[in-house]
Structure 1
Amino acid sequence: MLRVFLMLAAFFGFTGVALGAFAAHGLKDRLSEQYLAIFHTGVTYQLVHALALIGVALLATQLQSRLVTWAGICFALGIVLFSGSLYVLTMTGISKLGMITPIGGLGFLAGWLCLGLAAWRVS
């Protein structure tokens, strides 16, 4: 899983930086301040959890734990659902997409919980 999580971290890190730059330079005149702030929230959470995926990848080399693997899966799904829904919401204005965002947030929470439980079980 090391390779998978590192590749996901690199992808999400790269696209997070690219989307942040796109928002700062290409969207500031196209989106309202409110939508621009929402877009930036997606970027922030994407970048934070891309870094978390690097941590998960490194931890997976030391701990053979399903909880660590699940933490990485939850972080990746959280990025797609949370950040992805915010990006699409701001670009399309489809407010119903906001219903997906909390599911991604739960993915982030589940990932951190799995990571904490994995640490708790270390003897």
Structure 2
Amino acid sequence: MNKDSAYKEITDNGGEPYARFFAAQNPDHPLTPFCHRYLFEKDLQARTAAHDEERGFALKSLAQMESSSHLAQAAASASRDAATAAHTSALSARRSAFWTMIAAIASALGVVVNAALNLGWLDWARHIVR
């Protein structure tokens, strides 16, 4: 009896349950070592499949973690850009406020000089200085 014909007989009769039952009932039969080998190979295949499934799950988890990491980096970069824009805007607002203050002072001086001219204070001041 060769491996292929023994495996075919085991598969035709029900596979693993048949191999377990046959090996337990007929320990001295020439098919029994093939039953044990068949069971060993099926167990090895099942373990390999379970390992591959665990590895696939681990790879998916790693891919999700990397994706989350990239999203977090993009969010941090956007926040940094927003902070830089806010800082630039604050500097511009500070400059604008300074020049607005200068314009207000100049306007106030213009109002005072205009009032002095209209009220004749400058003529009176010129008269006193002479």
TM-score for both structures, normalised by structure 2: 0.25
Higher relative contact order (CA 8 A, sep 6+): 1
Structure 1 or 2, whichever has the larger Rg, is 2
